[in-house]
Amino acid sequence: MHVRKEPAARRKGPVLVVLGVVVLAAALTLAASSSGGTKAATQAAATGPTIGKGGGFGEVYKARVATLKKTLFKATLLPKNPTARNIALAGLGRADKKVNYALALKCWKNNGCSTGTKGKLTVAYIEQFGENVYRQMSKMEFILQALTYPEVGKIIYRSAHSDLNQGIADFKAAIAQHVSLIVSYPDFGDAMLPVMKEATDAGIPVATYAWGYVTGPGKNYLTVVGEDTCALGKVYAYVMNTQVKSGNIAFLGGFPGNPLSLGWQTCERPALNPNIHVVATEPTNWDPSKVQQVVAGILAKYPDIKGWSYEYGLGMAQGAFAAYQAAGLPFNAVLTLRTDDVGMGCAFDKLNNPKLQMYYYTSGNTQIRVAFTAAMMKLKGAKIPPTIVFPIQLQNQRVRDSCAKGYPQEASATSLIPLSLLHQMYP
């Protein structure tokens, strides 16, 4: 019996062990699959359908359709270049990651912070002008994007208050601090090229957004993210050609010589039909009072002006609307604008003038997220295309109302800053 039992025990022992292991493995697998399933289900419920697949260099090339639609109007308005498309998907996809919003707000108010992750990277957003709502929102997008990377330990922000020398000094200081990457909007165009090149030579990837084009992207600096401003100018021209048809229009721009304004102005002019005359091209420094001055001046000479092309929607709403009101003229015109500020849409709605037509593009604050991610991928060895270009699609204010309910007047509803955080920024 013993003998029998012993072999039986010996035979049963391994079987039981195997059985036990199998049961345990099955249980673990079940538990794992169960929890994973639950997680996946939760994620699916939270995320909804996505676009993109694959990944690399620490990124997942995937983003929610809803997120893309919110910031680009249509989820398919992604860069055509496959690599650029992947970077855009990775950058915008990160907007759905939860971050510490209290820290983000503190960082935004203090113009920089330590993220508390003890990450080794220091990231910098350096611009030569940061004193309007558009730039302040871009700063928050930058901070939120940086907080999705645990390897980022410190965030730096600098604005030169429209002072070129200070802007150059800010760049040099960042280089001296050995920051890991720089995202910028080069307000003074090629005047910033030497320091951007110096940073690049020092091994710091420099990416610009909102088509902050400076000579030699891919060579003198990492990349420029934005819409094709030339295409924007052509789309503006298409709207003018179809809506204005003939008569006088005017171009307004930001700081003299800035790449964004030059980009669309250079391409809109030749694309206009011969019956449309551009009677003025004036810089406004993106300052509403300067907009009012310029519009008042142009109105004095051309009271029957039929169209205005510009970038800054809220500036147009605050400055031009006031100029028309002061002049006692009805605002009967076609506007082509780049930003989708809520205040702009609400001012349009309040005027309730059927003879005022307004077409706008997305503010593109979220382009800074893509620029950030491109620079992060570069740090991990990715090859980044010199330009990451988003296609254009203008929106008709009468079809898509930019006066989004619940949003602060200064904000852009295509931003990916959570509404609750926006309310804390602009209560």
Partner 1 sequence: MKAPGRTFIASAVVAARFLPIWLATGALAIVAAITAPDALQHASWAYVLPYMTILALAALGQMLVIMHAGIDLSTPGVISLGGNFIVGVSVGSDHKLALGLLACIGLGAAVGLANGILVGILRLNPLIVTLAVGQIVLAWSLHYSREVTNSSQVPEALTSWAAEKPLGISVIFWTGAAITVAVALLIRYTAAGRRFQAVGANPRAAWMAGLHVRTHVVFAYTAAGILYSFAAILLAGIRINIDPAFGAAYLLSPIAAVVIAGASLAGGLASATSTWMAALALTFLPQMLLILGLSTSMQYIVYGAAIIVGMMVSGDRVASLLGRVLRPIEGQTRNPDMNVNTS
Nearest distance in Å: CB 203, partner 1: 33
Instruction: Say if residues 182 and 199 touch (Cβ distance below 8 Å).
Output: yes
Q: Which is nearer to partner 1, 33 or 266 (CB)?
A: 266
Nearest distance, CB of residue 302 and partner 1, angstroms: 8
List residues near partner 1 by CB under 8 A. 109, 131-133, 256, 279-280, 282-283, 287-289, 292-294, 296-301, 303, 318, 322-323, 325-329, 409-410, 426-427
CB of 427 to partner 1, least distance (A): 5
Q: Are 221 and 184 in contact (CB under 8 A)?
A: no
Give me the least distance between CB of 64 and partner 1, in Å please: 31
Give whichever of 27 and 300 is closer to partner 1, judged by the CB atom: 300
What's the residue count for the chain? Answer: 427
Query: Based on CB atoms, which residue is closest to partner 1, 142 or 149?
Result: 142
Q: How far is the CB of 419 from partner 1 (least distance, A)?
A: 16
**Cβ proximity to partner 1, 72 vs 294, nearer residue:** 294
Give whichever of 130 and 153 is closer to partner 1, judged by the CB atom: 130
Tell the smallest beta-carbon distance from residue 369 to partner 1 (Å): 22
Minimum distance from CB of 343 to partner 1 (Å)? Answer: 8
Chain centroid to Cα 258, Å, comes to: 18
Q: How far is the CB of 264 from partner 1 (least distance, A)?
A: 17
Q: Between residues 105 and 193, which has the closer beta carbon with respect to partner 1? A: 105
* Residue among 299 and 334 whose Cβ is closer to partner 1: 299
Q: How far apart are CA 358 and CA 398, in angstroms?
A: 8
Could you give the CA distance from residue 22 to residue 94 in angstroms, rounded to a whole number?
39
Spatial distance between the Cα atoms of 375 and 222, rounded to a whole number of angstroms: 7
Comparing CB distances to partner 1, the nearer of 73 and 302 is 302
Residue (100 or 409) nearer to partner 1, CB = 409
Query: Half-sphere exposure of 64 toward its Cβ, with a 13 Å CA cutoff?
Result: 15
**Distance between CA atoms of residues 324 and 313, nearest Å:** 16
Minimum gap (Å) between residue 410 Cβ and partner 1: 7
